[in-house]
Structure 1
Amino acid sequence: MDDVVQAQTGTPPVRGAEIAVDGLAKHYGSLKAVDEFAINIRSGEFLALLGPSGSGKSTILMMLAGFEVPTAGRILIDGVDCTRLPPQKRNIGMVFQHYSLFPHMTVADNVAFPLKMRGVGRTERRRRAAEALKVVRLDGYGARMPSQLSGGQRQRVALARAIVYEPRLLLMDEPLSALDKNLREEMQLEIKRLHHELGITVVFVTHDQGEALTMADRVAILRGGKLQQLSPARELYERPANLFAAGFIGEMNMIPAQWDGAALTLGTGERMVPPTGAVVGTVGQGAVTLAIRPERLTVCDPVTPDALQATLREVVYAGAGTLLIAALPDGTEIRARVASASLPPALTEGETIGLSCPPEAMLVYGEEAAA
């Protein structure tokens, strides 16, 4: 744990592992849980694997850890082929969804257990376990039993156990899903702090979009075992690579339209000319989707030039923000999230409103972008 101490005292942290994954696949009979997955993870990077249930994210993590053997492909950790190397020979830390602490052991003994399995002497085990607990802000908790800790404290113990033998790669499988909202947010910041201090590479599996965007340097979106997009959080949110990513990350209005190569024609017959750069990928003439984030819409007079006219169906007040649910003349639902203070004093369900969108907030996707 000397590197941990150095990180706390200002000395440059240990360099995290570099990961190269090429053509990774995992098949269970005819089911392709992971299909031709390839990625390079930089030293010290925090990568989130994000996707719905069954997208392959946990299977990828288990193959990185060595608990699953790939059907095809290679995994290189710091240039060493670890594709079929057993977990104990990979020098990785692992934090699972459930804490998996030994209930009959003290906190210190739980943290020191990986060192004991590696043949480290008792005195050295105690010293390094105490240092690891200090890093996760549980200094002085070593004599307690897991049953005497809160959920957040038990998760910190699991983190301390994962870093006590100084791995250069930390794998985390939905470690915060069992915590309530406040604890989740607290632990998100704690893990980010830990990553910054230690400088290790982190691969973090989650199905929580906000968690991925908040914590990760880059986010990999998966669907059906295939990589859909790999981008920094801001790029992922503001310019999703395809319709799946656009619909999966946050809220998105999806408005059907026709594209003639220069302008959009909505189902209402209204014609719009999106700005250069609004078209994502290759879009042929014909049916397309106009995508707009609800928070980029503002309420205006229905006769405002270029505004979308819509019939207000529901007003959902939520303090600082208000959700407006409306319908375009062709029946397409459209939502706007606006600051409550900016709304007209009285909005009546059933009235016609205008919804204005800045041109740079428009994204146009073709049918081929949905896959």
Structure 2
Amino acid sequence: MTLTQRGTGIEIRGLRKAFGQVTAIDHLDLDIHPGEFLALLGPSGSGKSTVLMALAGFEPPTGGTIRIDGEDCTHVPPHRRNIGMVFQHYTLFPHMSVLDNVAFPLRMRGVAKEERRARAAAALETVRLGAFGDRLPKQLSGGQQQRVAIARAIVYNPRVLLMDEPLSALDKNLREEMQIEIKRLQESLGITVVFVTHDQGEALTMADRVAILQSGRLQQISPARELYERPANLFAAGFIGEMNQLNARYDGARAHFSDGTSLAVPQTALVAPVPPGPATLTIRPERVRPVAPGSGDLQGVVRDVIYSGAGTLIIAELPGGTEFRARISSAGIAPPAAGAPLGFALPPEGLLLYPAAA
């Protein structure tokens, strides 16, 4: 027996959720494509887990609608939505075998014993644990237990798989391995996955698109590369990865800094219309090129040099006290010493300009 899945589309319109005077989700509109892997990303309190619980049916919305595969599920109870869920804690039954743990949802649905065991065995094969059915959960590693939890979530062919920070309890190496495993499994099944995480690298690695939330509102939803290379606003720019942010005055062609220097800004750097006046010029540290003192676009003094294996982070201070970062390869390059003056070249293709934050 093999598991069959199909991608299901989700349409969220005007979704609201309030807990007393606190608004967790604020008029959210979101379309999730059939068979898509969507990551919900944001800081603590951004509303990402509340969105997931509303999709699952555990948090009734205050307003708005949720349609799954065209069906209005806004007030449909969880057990009638046919949705699979995987949580941070695996909640496997310690006294049951792995096979019986996976078969448990089918047992609750009244599936005959022979069929549920066959389907559970197929689910374990899907997550590459076919030989582990007779073991107890305590005899498995953390990564294996997580795969059992996934097998249990997909055994009844759910329309959508919801995952709430399922890898946060794993160590770094195992976590990275499981990211690849889950993405590979999702692609092979073609199932729609909504994945909540606070880990930016996890979201960028796994998701087809990433939705960034802040205070219950959608800030940007884009493929990972677009999100990283061209954040839609300053919040997204500051939240995803490292980003240098320089206060400036924009005259329509150049950014002028408080120390009297200025820099030509190509029109391609404008993410949205930026009127003349206060603005914020941004560039990723890996786009910055350290050069000899006195040359380049900016001048600074090195404050810290941090070696991290493949890369080295240079933290400098610009005139006026602004911190500025450059990230360079560690291979065969001698980094500058702390306290040394240093110039920085800012390639035009790495610049992004935003209206100044209100």
TM-score range, shorter chain: over 0.9
* Aligned-partner residue type, residue 244 of structure 1: F
Q: State the TM-score, normalized to the length of structure 2.
A: 0.97
1:77 is aligned to 2:75: no
- C-alpha deviations, 1:260-285, integer Å up to 9, x for none? 22211012211111111211223222
Instruction: Tell me, in whole angstroms, the C-alpha distance in 2 between the residues paired with 1:3 and 1:45.
Output: 18
> Whole-Å Cα distance in 1 between the matches of residues 282 and 17 of structure 2?
34
- What is the TM-score when the length of structure 1 is the normalising length? 0.94
Corresponding residue to 2:30 among 27, 31, 39:
39
1:346 offset after TM fit, Å? Answer: 6.3
Q: Deviations over 1:160-215 (max 9, x none)?
A: 00000011210000000111101111110110011011000000000000000000
SS in 1 for 2:275: coil
2:303 is aligned to 313
Matches within 5 A, 1:346-361: 347-361=336-350
- What SS is found at the alignment partner of 1:43? coil
- Supply the distance in 1 between the matched residues of 2:335 and 2:343 (Cα, whole angstroms): 15
- 2:279/2:355 contact within 8 Å kept: yes
Gaps of 5+ in 1: 5-13
The 1:206–1:253 alpha-carbon spacing in structure 2 relative to 1, beyond 3 Å, is same
**Displacement of 1:128 after TM fit?**
0.4
Pairwise mapping of residues 276-355 of structure 1 onto structure 2 (< 5 A)? 276-304=267-295, 306-341=296-331, 343=333, 345=334, 347-355=336-344
Moved over 6 A (4+): none
Amino acid at match of 1:355: F
Equivalents in 2 of 1:317, 1:82: separation in Å? 51
Aligned to 1:147, which of 138, 141, 149?
138
Structure 2 contact 3–119 (Cα < 8 Å) conserved? no
Q: Which residue of 1 aligns with 2:213?
A: 222
Q: 1:70 to 1:342 in 2, by over 3 A?
A: same
Structure 1 vs Structure 2: percent identity of aligned residues? 64
Q: Is the 8 A contact 1:302 1:308 kept in 2?
A: no
Equivalent position SS for 1:313: strand
Give the match for residue 266 of structure 2. 275
| In 2, Cα distance between equivalents of 1:346 and 1:288 | 32
State whether residues 268 and 328 of structure 1, in contact with CA within 8 Å, keep that contact through their aligned partners in structure 2: no
The letter for the 2-side match of 1:326 is A
Q: Secondary structure at the match of 2:331?
A: helix
Which residue in 2 is equivalent to 1:363? 352
1:208 alignment counterpart: 199
Given residue 346 of structure 2, which amino acid in structure 1 is its aligned partner?
C
Query: Secondary structure at 2:238's aligned position in 1?
Result: helix
Aligned length: 358
Q: State the 1:61 CA deviation.
A: 0.3
Q: Which residue does the alignment assign to 2:44? A: 53
Q: Which segment drifts farther, 141-150 or 279-288?
A: 279-288
Structure 1 residue aligned with 2:2: 2
Partner Cα distance (1:181, 1:210) in 2: 12
**Aligned: 1:258 with 2:268:** no
Coordinate RMSD, CA, aligned = 1.3
How far apart, CA to CA, are the structure 2 residues paired with 1:58 and 1:262?
42
Post-superposition offset of 1:63: 0.4
Alignment of 1:175-254 (within 5 A): 175-254=166-245
Residue 37 of structure 1 deviates from its aligned partner by 0.6
In the alignment, the residues of structure 2 paired with residue 279 and residue 105 of structure 1 have an alpha-carbon distance, to the nearest angstrom, of 58
Contact residue 17 and residue 77 of structure 1 kept, 8 A: yes
The 8 Å contact of residues 263 and 297 in structure 2, kept in 1 or not, is answered as: no
| Separation (CA, whole Å) in 2 of partners of 1:346 and 1:336 | 11
1:140 aligned counterpart, secondary structure: helix
Report the residue type matching 1:2 in the other structure.
T
C-alpha contact (below 8 Å) 2:3/2:122 kept by paired residues: no
Deviation at 1:342, TM superposition (A): 5.9
Instruction: Give, in angstroms, the shift of residue 309 of structure 1.
Output: 1.0
Residues of 2 paired with 1:348 and 1:128: CA distance?
Answer: 62
